[in-house]
Structure 1
Amino acid sequence: MTIVAIEPATPERWADLERLFGPTGAYGHCWCVYFRRRAKDFTASVSCSPDERGDSNREELRRVTLGGKVPGLIAYEGNEPCGWVSVAPREDFIRLSRSRSLRPTDPAEPDVWSLVCFWLPPRRRRKGMGSQLLDGAIEHARANGGRVLEAYPVDTAGGRAPSAEVYTGTVRMFRKAGFACTTHPDSGRPIARLTLKAD
């Protein structure tokens, strides 16, 4: 597979993002807004029917995208959107600041970006595209003022796990890309960090 471009999800690419996620909106109508919504708002969407949940989450991602914030990057093979990574300034992800297991140890630390999700259609998985999306996310964060890129991978101990369980990436993947992986002091969850610019 040849990816010719990894591009920011700007308003003019909203239709491509809809086409990539398809009618179910990736990961069961999530539309990659789990980390962008307060827990009570996301939980309220879960209590709806699947279609209503998808509509609510889709509308949130649409609002962010068409409002001019870039919620992530889209990979293209030719003109076909074929992969997604959600990366943005950490403050864009309200769920992180409120999470007991992932909240920042230094909330005032400046210019930290977060990578919270990858999504690939099933036929695109296990072909190295995740690593290409990660490389694109690093460059995007650096080019837009990020000083540190932070991620929240899953430690599979070198084994495999279902895609829906490793949507945040794996410790191995981030280490291979040069990230330092530690654990959150409160929860023990893996945290991966890469310095993008020297202080």
Structure 2
Amino acid sequence: MEIRPASNFDDMRTLVGPRRPDANVCWCLSYRIPSKQNLALRGPERGEFVRDLCGRKTAPGVLAYDGDDVVGWAAVAPRTDTTFARNRKIPHLDDQPVWSLWCVRVRPGFRKRGVVAPLIAGAVDFARDHGAPAIEAYPVDNGDERVNLTMAYVGTRKMFEQAGFEKAGDTTSVIDGFPRIIMRRSL
């Protein structure tokens, strides 16, 4: 498994883009940009916004590759550059300039093949390489209960514990009936 910065738009489209270019799918923008801007971007505009993100000096996250196949995506950025900067349900723990890791997606057909662990490790390395003192994730605390695949993008407590994160706080955010928690890893 190779992890690379998400600077290839075609590979990003494969992981987070719609089947139809005019569809209004997330494109992993809902936590990256303000809600008003997110709602205003329609159809192909969403993809063009992501194309611009892929062309910036700091990529919008990391992609996992199994040989030539792009198989996973992780969104990671400074918390101050995301909607988590103002999120009332997921509080700030302190004044550290932490990075947020809020979306982990494995491409259908490649799930249950060991993509998640190197993908999270790659996101951690990406944040560290860009000067982050710590990285946070906001997964569900689901115990051993199954998480709806549509909402699984936030990850689970167990997934992040296995990647060296520790529970750092509670939130009032809930996804799919499960509470979200703040997991943090010092870098």
| Aligned residue type for 1:155 | D
- Using the TM superposition, give the Cα deviation of residue 182 of structure 1 relative to its aligned residue in structure 2, in angstroms: 3.5
CA shift in 2, pair 1:17/1:176, >3 Å: same
**2:50 counterpart residue number:** 61
Task: Give the alignment partner of residue 159 of structure 2, picking from 154, 173, 196.
Answer: 173
**1:99 counterpart residue number:** 87
**1:117 counterpart residue number:** 103
1:87 aligns with 2:79: no
Return the structure number with greater strand share: 2
Deviations, residues 3-49 of structure 1 (Å, cap 9, x unaligned) = 2x110012xx2222223335348xx711111111112222345xxxx
CA distance in 2, matches of 1:127, 1:156: 22
Deviations, residues 49-87 of structure 1 (Å, cap 9, x unaligned) = xxxx34232222222221323101111111121111111
**2:5 counterpart residue number:** 8
Where does structure 1 lack aligned partners over 5 or more consecutive residues?
A: 46-52
Determine if contact 1:114/1:149 at 8 Å carries over to the other structure: yes
CA shift in 2, pair 1:77/1:103, >3 Å: same
CA RMSD of aligned residues (A): 2.1
Determine if contact 1:33/1:60 at 8 Å carries over to the other structure: no
1:146 aligns with 2:132: yes
- Using the TM superposition, give the Cα deviation of residue 144 of structure 1 relative to its aligned residue in structure 2, in angstroms: 1.9
The normalised TM-score by structure 2 is 0.85
CA distance in 2, matches of 1:83, 1:171: 19
**2:176 counterpart residue number:** none
- Using the TM superposition, give the Cα deviation of residue 186 of structure 1 relative to its aligned residue in structure 2, in angstroms: 5.9
Secondary structure of 2:145's aligned partner: coil
Task: Give the alignment partner of residue 14 of structure 2, picking from 19, 26, 31.
Answer: 19
The normalised TM-score by structure 1 is 0.80
CA shift in 2, pair 1:36/1:185, >3 Å: closer
1:193 aligns with 2:180: no
| Aligned residue type for 1:32 | C
1:36 aligns with 2:36: no
Where does structure 2 lack aligned partners over 5 or more consecutive residues?
A: 174-178
**1:50 counterpart residue number:** none
**Aligned residues with identical type, % of pairs:** 37
